[in-house]
Amino acid sequence: MTARGGAGRKFESNLMGMVRLIRAWMIAFAVLAAVALPRAASAQTAFDRPGGDYSSGPVASGDPADCALTCERDRRCRAWSFNYPTDVSAGAVCWLKNTVPTRVPNSCCVSGVRGAGVVEPRNSAIETSIDRFGGDYKNFELKSDDGDEACHAACTADNKCRAWTYARPGYAGRDAHCFLKKDIKPPRRKAGFTSGVVR
């Protein structure tokens, strides 16, 4: 019986060793797979992907998501770049690409690769692609090089202002526009607009 008990313990010990070895191999494989597999690249706001263009067209809605969808529906398309309108008459443009060019920083654009969709930056202070329509007590044009930061700063500096909405050039007129609001209205998705609540 003691010989059998010793053999049983030895078998159990060998089995536990095998289980540990298999577990270690599985963990190592999972780590290698996570590192080696390509990750889905989300669309990047304020980035362009110059080059590789085979087609372009207007985007009547002015929404980068429509450009991403156009790429999704075209088998040749591997990447895309959406150019915001420079003024009301020029309109937004979608560029379809048969390669995946390297992205470069540029506030003119939103770009992405096929299958990634559009993921816009979110934080507690800035609401990308959000309009808070109504409640305006003041609005004014901004210089072309002033971004949503200038509108946010104008609202912060005015005690009467509770919320603000910034419209990129071409979305509420030829130039960029800032709307200061005495009331906080509900947010609603609208391409080309950025909003925030100050107080």
We report the CATH number of the domain holding residue 96 as: 3.50.4.10
Number of domains in the chain: 3
Are 28 and 55 within one domain? no
What's the pLDDT score for residue 144? 72
Are 99 and 136 within one domain? no
State the 10-residue block means of pLDDT for the chain, 199 residues long. Answer: 60 70 62 42 80 96 93 96 85 96 93 82 79 96 87 96 95 93 94 93
118 found inside a domain: no
Q: Which domain holds residue 190?
A: 127-197
165 found inside a domain: yes
CA 51 – CA 101 distance, rounded (Å): 6
What's the pLDDT score for residue 143? 85
Are 22 and 81 within one domain? no
What's the pLDDT score for residue 162? 97
CA 79 – CA 97 distance, rounded (Å): 5
CA 187 – CA 133 distance, rounded (Å): 8
Please classify residue 185 by burial: count the beta carbons closer than 10 Å to its beta carbon, then call 0-12 exposed, 13-18 middle and 19+ buried: middle
